[in-house]
Amino acid sequence: MGIAELSLLLVLGIIILLAIGVPLGFASGFLGVLVAYWKLGDRGFFILGQRMYDLTIEHALLAVPLFIFMAMLLERSNIAKDMYDSMSVWMSRTKGGIAIVTSVMAMIMAAMSGIIGGEIVLLGLVALPQMLRLNYDKHLACGTICAAGSLGTMIPPSIVLIIYGVVTETSIHSLFKAAIIPGLLLGFSYIVYISIRAHLRPQDAPLPELDFEVTLRDKIIALKGLLPPMLLVGAILGSIYGGITGITEAAAIGCIGTLLLITLRGEMSMSLFMEALQRTMRSTGTIMWVTFGATALAGAYSLAGGPTFIAGLILGLDVPPMGIILVMMVIFLFLGALLDWIGIVLLVMPVFLPIVAGMDPADIGLLGNLSPSHVSVWFGILFCINMQVSFLSPPFGPAAFYLKSVAPPDISLADIFKGFLPFIGIQILVLMVMMMFPEITTLLLH
Amino acid sequence: MPTLDPSGYLWVASLGGLTLFWMFIIAPKFVPMLSRGLHGAESPPLTFVDHVTLRISSLLMFVVAIIMGIMLFEVIMRYVFARPTIWVEELSRWLGGVIFLVAGLYAMQQRTHIRVTIVYDIINRNAQRVMDALGTACICTFCWAVSWGYWENAMRKFSTWELYGSAWNPPIPAIMKPLICIVCVWMSIQAINNLIVDWRRDAPLAPPEDV
């Protein structure tokens, strides 16, 4: 059996194993064991353990449990709800106001934490009932919550970028800088889309009927609710971009800040603290063991010469460099609909990134001004935008399942996925812009 | 492995004693994962294996809070007192490794490892049992292959008490490599335990609601 047959069998194997309900991490780990045995016999198993060991002592990965812990604390506090209420006061006379507030709130929360599950659940609990009460179109409401909620892994700090940085040995700091413009661009595109839709089809986003006048005084008092989240964003992003701390330490500072705020607000209790810790442990275990399994498979597969084989296939396509990148993006979109993003980073990046890094920077983008040292940063950003699509794309788009878990029963999964369509369109548009003009991502890098 | 002098034995014994005291006396009263059912009203009785996993988790879940604390300490020492520590970076690396590994056991006990249940949800219960058995076989193969292949190396690092080779020089390889093998073996035991518990039930156990 050659490497070509092996690659085909692996794709088939992962699909079958996932279909019979084997957990993703163990399915890929199991295939890793088979590949290692096929290549080296039982001596090959050493590689699996060694790759696991390298990941367990990786310092940058510590940001993962810390950001999860922070998200778990925020979820149990009313900080997010107060922020939502105060912004609603400001936007109460704007068409599509509540949906815009939801997007802005999602962007602020994205700048506090780097994971999406908690963010979408929270928005589903806080913003969805409001929008439905005002008779918003349910597709628009679901789409806004999930698309904006997914920005958690696009706007820094972002766990996707942290793991991409660890796997590809790219500076996470540079990735975080490069992600600012694309992240904000995505968020503002959603807002523009919502306002255009609210103006063209007012029945989709009706204005609330207020029985009182909102005065300037009310608006200024309402700003109070914005203060705690802004403090947190300032502490975390300030520490990172100000060069005061590394990313892991910034995550720790974010946790401390959240604990302080919760205590000051009188919401702190022993059971809140312990429940947050225990849920952090559960989520950390879930994420890390997917990573362990994927790293085992990636290690065994590259030992068997897989990456070289795939690289040869792609380079043999005889298309210009941008055509190759386009093919890669399509592969990401396809895999993203089926696999978890961690699996994709670990399995596909070792194959794709060397190909992209080997291209002449003059051939990348329409202008060709990308500096060679920034290629891996730019590709990471493209990947990150791609994963935004994967959170929303059926059949497994996780954002839909997070929202479904808190949505009223009359909103079906099909409704939720239908609401995603325009937002997926926007994401692909932004992806194309970033692909054509890589310079945008590196604007802040100097 | 280093030899201990009498005061070293005292340290180890008292730490061990405190750990047991926490796990068996304090934690069952206060830690939600031990004092409350895990899966709502229809929570199955816990087996011995579940108890071991949960009691260890009830202690190690605080590691994340400890990492948070020592990192704050480091930032304060660095900027307020201009005396950066040498041990925080390495200790957090070490503790992080422990939590990454053990958290997987807790996730396994809670059935929260990411899986696709689209087919699983529509087939009948007996077919689900077959699928559970196949899944457990995959988990065991992976875990045993890792421990089997890594055991010799891990034991060598443990017996020579290999240090990390840094300024503070903690025994990270000597501890973490055997730990990988131990956690993998326990992971397979927990998976088999889950298979037996779920096999007897009329409906599969769902992950807790608040995931």
- Say which of B60, B65, B100 has its CB closest to residue A56: B100
Q: How far is CA A341 from CA A186, B52, B111, B122, B157, in A?
A: 19, 32, 20, 26, 34
CA distance B79 to B89: 16
How sure is the predictor about B37, in pLDDT bands with cuts at 50, 70 and 90?
Answer: low
- Rounded to the nearest integer, the mean pLDDT of chain B is 86
Q: Is the CB of B118 less than 8 angstroms away from the CB of A50?
A: no
pLDDT at residue number A348: 86
Cβ distance of A59 and B89 shorter than 8 Å:
yes
Closest CB to B176 among A57, A248, A293: A57
**Closest CA–CA distance from residue B71 to any residue of chain A (Å):** 6
Residue B22 sits at the vertex; the CA angle it makes with B16 and B28, to the nearest 5 degrees, is: 145
Residues of B in contact with A247 (CB under 8 A): none
- CB contact, 8 Å: B34 with chain A? no
Which among A33, A50, A280 has the least Cβ separation from residue B142?
Answer: A33
- pLDDT for the residue numbered B211: 40
Note whether A42 contacts B139, CB cutoff 8 Å.
no
Q: Does B55 touch chain A (CB under 8 A)?
A: no
Give tens-digit pLDDT for B46-58.
Answer: 889 988 998 999 8
- Chain A, nearest residue to B121 by Cα: A21
H or E stretch covering A282: helix A270-303
- Report d(CA A15, CA A4) in Å as an integer: 17
Query: pTM here?
Result: 0.90
pLDDT 10s per residue in chain A (446 long)? Answer: 788 888 889 888 988 998 888 988 899 899 999 999 988 888 889 989 998 998 898 888 898 899 989 988 888 888 888 888 888 888 878 888 889 999 999 999 899 877 787 788 888 888 898 899 888 999 999 999 999 999 988 998 888 999 999 889 899 999 999 999 999 999 999 999 999 999 999 888 888 777 667 778 878 887 888 888 888 888 888 888 888 888 888 999 999 999 999 999 888 888 889 888 988 998 899 888 988 988 898 888 888 888 888 888 888 888 888 889 998 999 999 888 877 788 888 888 888 998 898 888 888 888 878 888 889 999 999 999 999 999 998 877 888 888 887 888 888 888 899 999 999 999 999 999 999 999 888 888 87
- On the question of a cis peptide bond just before residue A395, with omega within 30 degrees of 0, the verdict is yes
DSSP H helical ranges for chain B: 6-21, 27-30, 32-35, 48-60, 63-79, 88-109, 125-159, 172-199
CA-CA distance, B135 to B190, in Å (whole number)? 13
Give CA–CA dist B173/B37, Å, rounded. 37
Q: What is the spatial distance between Cα B27 and Cα B31, in angstroms, rounded to a whole number?
A: 5
Task: Give the pLDDT score at B168.
Answer: 84
Q: What's the rounded Cα separation, in Å, for the pair A426 and A142?
A: 15
Contact list, B64 vs chain A (CB under 8 Å) = 65-66, 69, 277, 280-281, 284
The H-assigned helical ranges of A201-269 are 216-222, 227-241, 247-264
C-alpha B201/C-alpha B198 separation (Å) is 5
Q: Closest partner residue to B107 among A20, A117, A285, by Cβ? A: A285
Instruction: State which residue of chain B sits closest to A253, comparing Cα positions.
Output: B72
Angstroms from B205 CA to nearest CA on chain A:
13
| Whether the predicted pLDDT of B182 surpasses 50 | yes
pLDDT over threshold 70, residue B42 = no
Q: Across the A/B interface, how many CB contacts are shorter than 8 Å?
A: 223
The CA distance from A305 to the nearest CA of chain B, in Å, is 21
Single-letter residue type at A99: A
Query: Across the interface, do A289 and B115 touch by the CB < 8 Å criterion?
Result: no
Pairwise CA distance, residues A17 & B127, whole Å: 15
Note whether B131 contacts A: Cβ–Cβ < 8 A: yes
Judge contact between A115 and A163, C-beta under 8 A. no
Contacts of A286 in chain B (CB under 8 A): 104, 107, 112-114
For residue B83, with 0-12 CB atoms within 10 Å meaning exposed, 13-18 middle and 19 or more buried, which class applies?
exposed
| Candidate from B65, B101, B209 with C-beta closest to A277 | B65
pLDDT at B164: 82
- Chain B's closest residue to A405, CA to CA, is B209
Nearest residue of chain A to residue B27 (CA atoms): A274
